[in-house]
Structure 1
């Protein structure tokens, strides 16, 4: 009897954890959903003070640079999609750039092979950072509150510190046990006693606070000029990097028009190149419309097969055609995002068997898996979808201890060996080869869906190459299968990137019978633990309120509304 009682308690506890009664957050006047609850709280406080979505995004992004250092950053870059209250949509591109001294063969040895993984490790892999420039440009054009007021919370968080969480502590133990030459990581998480700060204790970052204070006082110039820029150049020269003060002074963010399509009664807006995410997302959504996906049962074999085949085609086109638009003016973006092109893509899709990926024609790109995304909406209906990154977790894991932040390793997103494409996923197509001041292609997919001219879904995710597909499936879940936002985020996801030719699936969520059926159709499958860390907001017309949800895989993530 006692055993039965405890078994029942266990089952009830499991069901509660697997299906929490309320994993959504509600807010009538605004909402911020990010990878750290403190950053979300900073953003909401800005909204309460009368700031708009742009203001809240700036404050949230700088706060994440303190509280979520594996991806929140001032040493990397990213993208913003901004849906204005009047229905207009614009984007900001602050993707990193290749330094002036970069070249197409900069990572190769005398035999034409990649030398010492130098496109991912070491300071040659660092792109010129864009985050500060992008946030500043967006604020100068659309912000309401003063720049100083928006950066102040991050300065205080870094100076006074915040409570070390268990999730951050786990990363701290892993990151401090590294090569001593990577100096910043040796002491990054340590307190005055020289030990890694324990969970529940306060972690302070005085060097980062000083850098953020300079940015607070001088705006863009506080990072790209002055003593911060001088120290960046000095650190690069001393440790094998090639970024100079000239690179920093010349960096500019760019405002661009979004890519867009419709799906049923919804309008989808996403990031244009140099992000590949928006083009691929729209190509796949158009293909789903051509396939009448709503008539296919969710999570069925037919569903997984169709979604995987759409991914295969979009990633093939991504690798063949996409790159920095300033270096590739003839990119066929209009064609790739058209309904007609999706129909032709659907015509060669066999619903009964898997296609074959041919590496002799086109393929996919490398991408790191540690990025961060947050979503914001204000009481006027302005909405922000922002994704920014260091590439890998903690980027290149190097940085000046005088500045307190970590550099990206985004140069690895360029095609490293000109003309060489292989079945394992190495791509050598021309649009994304290294060139001075060129922006590397990205998978980031910040997206906003509107209905009747008003924001309906604000979504995005980290995950490197998987970003495109996790965002795509979440949008599909909401628009085609009418899922509420938390369930759309947590639902089973798959990933196919064309090369290597395989489906990656969340092994606890895909049924064994479906897996076996897919294998009979010719698919190769590989399990993984989790895909994506999505941060989303939807509008509930019945309640007239915003509903936010943070992916449960984010240990410190949180949605905050008011």
Structure 2
């Protein structure tokens, strides 16, 4: 049977093989509201395996065990991804979630897909809701407490993905998470440290420690209210979260404190969108479209570096000349991000122009090896006209049939807004901070924006999440992504460059030094504790005119690379993740 989303004619847009899939006109409204007709489920007897194993790179050992269980039961990459996501909501509560949202890039049955289950602003939200009577931003108002919460999307996203592409029953994929919530899991020292750090921000402001004071290293942590919530969702389906008992508990918790209502929850739907695709280095990139800035930024960086090949030839990785050239590229990407990117359901985002060959060549031509840092202000490349109106974690999964899922989802800050839904046992996001609370001011990641990303009811905030799949001759070659706020796409760019331009082995590419630059503050290079910029390199960058500033975090990349028919899973040495390869299981 034809799939109406992917069997329609394709229209090429000027540029290096950027493609946008053309939708039949009758499906446009359905796509925007999330009601896309489902593709046929996998056949009971799937095709023969094309890989020697399945694989997953995930943030903790419990989610790796969940993936193993699902693959042993005959599940595919989507089944495993959904099981991982729900498990992380239990065992990785600072970022794993059912009270947040995210993006999923999929490659299923040789076709690319993208699912946007990003949070949205409640209907009661207003552009000035975080400003005081003098028009100044209220400190922490968009970060802590009930008013910081956007309408969650994770459960509907997982429900839509598994309903459309999963092989197993919905109850099967939630079973591992329910087990960990009911029976408990052993808390690792890193999780206690994250709890202790976040608890200082929430003290006296939320009910965070009523539920999470038991996150002590070595303790078995049980979450009975969350277990009951997961059992309801498993029994009644994903929409229970938005229309059933769980929705009632959320709206009751919000009443008199926050803005998310029962009507907001009922109105919410994940949206199937066209993924961004582009040719690069003999591969095809499949990545996130707006409301992510990450996919656009990643493609811009990769293509500008290709245009600048003569300037990079002979330049050593992470040397002063290398960092100087990349920083100038990042200035231009963040200038475009600030001006043009936001919710595509509210604005006509100029994606094709931003990824056009000639445009990127002109931007690359502005990058000079001998340029003085910050000497010339970097402007958005398409002019100053506005578009027309119209804490995070990642995991990567590949199954034995060559299907892949790259998923990044978030509560935004660590443990979100610090608000737990009483009687339901899960944390809510502080995603409203990803909007521009006041043009020209920065959010918790130090980035700013303009009118295109201001608060409006039902609008999705701009994100940097960039779950990405790389294809070679139509087959999955790499599945990659990371948390990190505005560092997300610069991190992925560096790892991909290390892999393919410098020929590094996966673990070496993950372990290599990372740096970050984002236009604001100007001339500032951020470095990380894992591989800090010190000594002669630091002195030379300062002599060139750069300021160096430490940052506590620069990504936790989870990556599966496929060599021929053999998947290799690798997890960032900066985190507590697990790269696991699972032997073939009999089809069921």
**TM superposition score category, shorter chain reference:** 0.7 to 0.9
Give the counterpart of 1:485 among 492, 502, 506. Answer: 506
1:54 aligns with 2:78: yes
Alpha-carbon spacing, 1:182–1:149, altered in 2? closer, same or farther (3 Å): farther
- The 1:255/1:214 distance shift into structure 2, 3 A limit, reads same
> 1:487, CA displacement in angstroms?
1.3
CA distance in 1, matches of 2:508, 2:500: 13
8 Å contact from structure 1 (residues 175, 185) kept in 2: no
**The one of 248, 252, 276 aligned to 2:293:** 276
**Is residue 157 of structure 1 aligned with residue 180 of structure 2?**
yes
| CA deviation after TM superposition for structure 1 residue 392, in Å | 0.4
Number of the residue aligned with 1:128 = 151
Aligned to 1:254: 271
Q: Give 4+ residue runs of structure 1 displaced > 6 Å after superposition.
A: 357-360, 419-422
In the TM superposition, what is the alpha-carbon distance from 1:182 to its structure 2 partner?
A: 4.3
| Number of the residue aligned with 1:218 | 236
For 2:133 and 2:275, locate their aligned partners in 1 and report how far apart those are by CA, in whole Å: 42
Q: Distance in 2 between matches of 1:251 and 1:357?
A: 46
With 427-436 and 49-58 compared, the bigger mean Cα shift is at: 427-436
Equivalent-residue separation in structure 1 for 2:441 and 2:202 (angstroms) = 32
> Is structure 2 residue 581 aligned with structure 1 residue 561?
yes
Query: How do 1:231-242 and structure 2 match up within 5 A?
Result: 231-238=249-256, 240-242=257-259
Mark the runs of 5 or more structure 1 residues left unpaired by the alignment. Answer: 1-26, 191-195, 364-369
Deviation sequence 1:233-271 (CA, Å, 0-9, x none): 111114x20110000000010111111222221111110
Counterpart Cα distance in 2 of 1:316 and 1:357: 16
Q: How big is the alpha-carbon RMSD for the aligned residues of Structure 1 and Structure 2?
A: 2.2
Query: Deviation per CA, 1:210-255, whole angstroms, max 9, x where unpaired?
Result: 11111111112220011111111111114x2011000000001011
Higher mean C-alpha deviation, range 29-38 or range 287-296 = 287-296
How far the C-alpha of 1:294 sits from its partner, in A, is 5.9
Distance 2:372 2:222 in 1: 52
Question: 2-side partners of 1:362 and 1:113: how far apart?
Answer: 26
Shift of 1:317: 0.4
Structure 2: segments with no counterpart, 5+ residues: 1-50, 382-390, 583-588
1:300 paired to 2:322: no
SS of 1:30's equivalent in the other structure is: strand
Q: Distance in 2 between matches of 1:412 and 1:360?
A: 25
What is the 5 A alignment of 1:410-489? Answer: 410-418=431-439, 427-489=448-510
2: distance between equivalents of 1:58 and 1:357?
48
CA distance in 1, matches of 2:376, 2:465: 25
SS of equivalent to 1:255: strand
The 1:344/1:176 distance shift into structure 2, 3 A limit, reads: closer
Superposed CA offset, 1:346-399 (max 9, x none)? 111111134438789569xxxxxx210000000011011100000000001112
Residue 124 of structure 2 aligns with which residue?
101
Question: Taking structure 1 as reference, are residues 231 and 181 closer, same or farther at Cα in structure 2, changes over 3 Å only?
Answer: farther
1:114 CA displacement: 1.1
Deviation at 1:202, TM superposition (A): 1.7
Q: What displacement does 1:49 show?
A: 1.4
**8 Å contact from structure 1 (residues 360, 421) kept in 2:** no
Deviations 1:104-138 (A, max 9, x none): 11111111111243122221111100000111111
Q: What is the aligned residue count? A: 518
Q: Partners of 1:414 and 1:285 in 2: how far apart?
A: 27
TM-score by length of 2: 0.84
Partner of 2:246: 228
CA distance in 2, matches of 1:504, 1:93: 30
Helix, strand or coil: the match of 1:526? strand
Aligned residue in 1 for 2:114? 91
Say which SS state the counterpart of residue 53 (structure 2) adopts. coil
CA contact (8 A) 1:120 1:412 kept: yes
TM-score normalised by length of structure 1? 0.88
Cα distance change of structure 1 residues 416 and 244 upon mapping to structure 2, 3 Å threshold: same
Preserved contact between residue 353 and residue 521 of structure 1 (Cα < 8 Å): no
Q: Which position in structure 2 is the counterpart of 1:504?
A: 526
Change (3 A) 1:321 1:179: closer
